[in-house]
Structure 1
């Protein structure tokens, strides 16, 4: 790992080890935050129970021809999401299924940003004061520290070569991976934050569904810098929601990084899937053009599959082999290993990769 082209595919289970929500937990939180309540006014209007999201919707409705009509459409969309989201696997799939409704899309994106920023604040990686260093003892036993142990067994001058060989496709909206890498490199090699940020930027990091903003230290000409777990106003929440993408937006070659994502899948020698759900929507997003030839003769997959049955795990194994054909494919897929366990189980194999 890190000596040849390595691709990490991160799902909600990866961030879970830092105490962020899984897909099911995020659905529940979004359902709760979008509950609609009756206002005690003459017109019997309704509003979203969360004040910050309601403030953001008021900002959005001001640009509409009729703000009252727009607000009713938004609150109806919120009520629908709150009631119906338990019926599908993820918020991504929900928004994709209702991509004809701009109101549903906006309300869903606002709820995502609100809940992910809140989850970052509650995570093991959050420090209330910006001057306080991240406490890596909190992350003992997580895949983050175990990955760092494989990555940092070199001098600072050797580190750029390893980072340039690494690509991360992050299906999460949070910035845990970037935040960890920035702070870990800064602390381990005792270098300024700006220098650490330059090194992290050597890693090719893609968020197919967007993020809740760029970390201030990492953003290059970013219009939406957003501190990890930062507090926002309703107007800022509305602005940050523009950084969230639906599946349709994520695969649009003119407005996304889909070509680079699929090229990374095609060219990687080692692919590590952590906490990734393997749902068809996301597998389709990763899949290179069926006529494109792989640029490597051998591919090795290491993947967690906690929560999947043995029959489904076997199906996923076949899906991985078919994802990007190579002359030789090895798959190490285990439905009993969490992300940290995978790095422990295959530590030597990954360090030699």
Structure 2
């Protein structure tokens, strides 16, 4: 159980623990999706998803411009850090943005279906065996200690999330976990999760069933399903440039930062544009901060540590130098919850 108001700031690395693609892997999958065949015989005879391309034709009445936009993304995205960076570079090109966002939606939904969190309703143990060592399981065990069925509705009161991913892994897991632990219908579990304060700065690929009655999108639609129009789901996804225009959401994010009594970064890349989105104009009060930096070099970890420290007021001086900010370059998300469990669940 968390005794302080704890804010979890979640990046792509957190979803990677259950098999979701990140960075270059996501870009590679999108490249394959957008490798469309040319309209006429010639050198461009790729293996891209022509049904996906056809959705643009059906909705917008033209196809060649969208085919060329797909090729532009296919040929350029591997030279950038991510599909997000590529789309931000082309934020004035509406057609490239439509194709890129729709490609993100289809790729993420397909990845959800193939992820370890795609619960088999006939064998939950099969799913648990796959996710046993992930941070999802460790987090829920920490969260639920001391919470019984009578006060299950209060389980999320001490925590909130800012999730920079397009997927719904956390919401999906929490609904199923609540349902199984407290033997309640999925609808009741979803009602509790709906009260959890979750902010997705860049949007998601859709609202989960039970969390919305307005065109819900299941976690991982069935393989081969043609049910969803990805050109419509694309409208739920934002680029960085589009996000910074949303003052209400930016204020909500920064209010969460101010309210937090402990902050935990999980699988976060610490990119400057995302740190700028998190940082209020004034320095935040000094509080414990924990973060993963798995795979970072020592130098890059130190740079990140300094960036995070500058967001907060300095703690009172001590005889022995002390920083409340811990950025661990050896810890995965799961390791962080293991190694700092006592500190994370400590009181004020």
Instruction: Give the alignment's Cα RMSD to 1 decimal.
Output: 2.4
Match of 1:3, SS? coil
Please, which of 335, 339, 345 is the counterpart of residue 345 of structure 1?
339
Post-superposition offset of 1:224:
3.1
Q: In the TM superposition, what is the alpha-carbon distance from 1:48 to its structure 2 partner?
A: 8.0
Question: 8 Å contact 1:169–1:206 — kept in the other structure?
Answer: yes
1:9 has 2:46 as partner: no
Contact 1:8 1:271 in 2 (8 A): yes
Change (3 A) 1:59 1:284: farther
CA contact (8 A) 2:265 2:291 kept: yes
| SS of structure 2 residue aligned to 1:208 | coil
* Deviates further, 226-235 or 8-17: 226-235
Who is 1:208 aligned against?
Answer: 201
Q: 2:51 matched to which residue of 1?
A: 52
Cα deviation, 1:206-252, whole Å, max 9, x if unaligned, reads 11111110111112x5x331000014537622221111111122222
* In 2, Cα distance between equivalents of 1:234 and 1:6: 38
Residue 156 of structure 2, aligned match among 154, 163, 173 = 163
Matched length = 337
Secondary structure at 1:180's aligned position in 2? helix
Q: Note if contact 1:299-1:326 (Cα within 8 Å) is conserved in structure 2.
A: no
Partner of 2:325: 331
Alpha-carbon displacement from aligned partner over 1:92-149 (angstroms, at most 9, x marks no partner)? 12111110100110010011011001100110111466x7647323211110111111
Return the offset for 1:39: 3.2
- Please say if 1:184 is aligned against 2:177: yes
Q: Does 1:36 align with 2:36?
A: yes
CA contact (8 A) 2:10 2:267 kept: yes
Map of 1:18 onto structure 2 = 18
Task: Quote the Cα distance in structure 2 between the aligned partners of 1:243 and 1:81.
Answer: 19
CA distance in 1, matches of 2:269, 2:313: 21
Q: Residue 211 of structure 1 aligns to a residue in which SS?
A: coil
Q: For residues 159 and 330 of structure 1, do their structure 2 counterparts lie closer, same or farther at Cα, with a shift above 3 Å needed?
A: farther
Q: Which runs of 5+ in 2 are unaligned?
A: 317-322
TM-score by length of 2: 0.89
Q: 1:137 aligns with which of 102, 107, 129?
A: 129
Aligned to 2:297: 309
Residue among 224, 240, 244 paired with 1:247: 240
| Structure 1: tracts of 5 or more residues without a match | none
* CA-to-aligned-CA distance 1:171-220 (integer Å, 9 cap, x gap): 1111100001000011011112122112112210111111110111112x
Deviation at 1:300, TM superposition (A): 1.2
Query: 2-side partners of 1:153 and 1:260: how far apart?
Result: 29
Go from structure 1 to structure 2 and tell me whether the alpha carbon gap of 1:28 and 1:47 turns closer, same or farther (over 3 Å shift): closer
The offset of 1:80, in angstroms, is 1.1
Partner SS state of residue 273, structure 1: strand
CA distance in 2: counterparts of 1:159 and 1:3, whole angstroms: 16
Deviation at 1:44, TM superposition (A): 10
**Residues 61-140 of structure 1 mapped to structure 2, 5 A cutoff:** 61-62=60-61, 67=62, 71-127=63-119, 133=124, 135-140=127-132
User: Of residues 269, 284, 292 in structure 1, which corresponds to 2:276?
Assistant: 284
Alpha-carbon distance in 2 for matches of 1:224, 1:94: 29
For 1:262-281, what aligned pairs fall within 5 Å after superposition? 262-281=254-273
TM-score (norm 1): 0.88
Q: Do the aligned partners of 2:36 and 2:44 also contact (CA within 8 Å) in 1?
A: no
Find the aligned partners of 1:287 and 1:48 in 2 and give their Cα distance. Answer: 43
Q: Give the Å deviation of 1:72.
A: 2.3
**SS of residue matched to 2:117:** coil
Is the 1:39–1:47 contact (alpha carbons within 8 Å) kept by the matching residues of 2? Answer: no
